[in-house]
Amino acid sequence: MTMKYVFASPGWMAFMHGMVAERASRLAAEAPDISWSLCEVFTDPPASLSADGAPIAWHVIVRDGEVTFAATESDAVEFKVIVDYEGVVPLGRYDTRGDPDRAAELTAMSQALIAEGRMQTIGDRSNRDPRIGNFHDPIARVTA
């Protein structure tokens, strides 16, 4: 049985941190020049995660094999997503299973949130090194 974590909860953040750190460590040996950075901000989270209703955020910066991970918002990243919590939860749980059709469905779900004004992206992911791999599906599998 797989452990499940509420989306954006402290346990979910710890899982994300561990996954990123493990991937960065593995890549440091084979591709020490790889770097990436990302921030996600979840607006209007439930009171169980944010008693005062403040957004929940996390960011990661990987440079020279070193990982900086924090449960805070950052503008010093290559790609940033600001999204409504309730809107993003279904995306966070959606496992594409590596299937291109399911990946296209996930993209369509994201585009719908953007069209509804519930999601904003800042930056460009098109230059992301493919060796970094997919973080979405592993986290989707453990997201309650």
What is the DSSP annotation of 46-62? -TTT-TT-PPEEEEEEE
What is the structure's pLDDT at 42?
A: 98
Closest CA to 83 of 120, 53, 46, 58: 120
Share of the chain above pLDDT 70, in %: 99
pLDDT reading at 1 higher than 80: no
**For residue range 15-43, what is the model confidence (pLDDT) as tens digits?**
999 999 998 888 888 888 888 999 999 99
What is the structure's pLDDT at 4?
A: 95
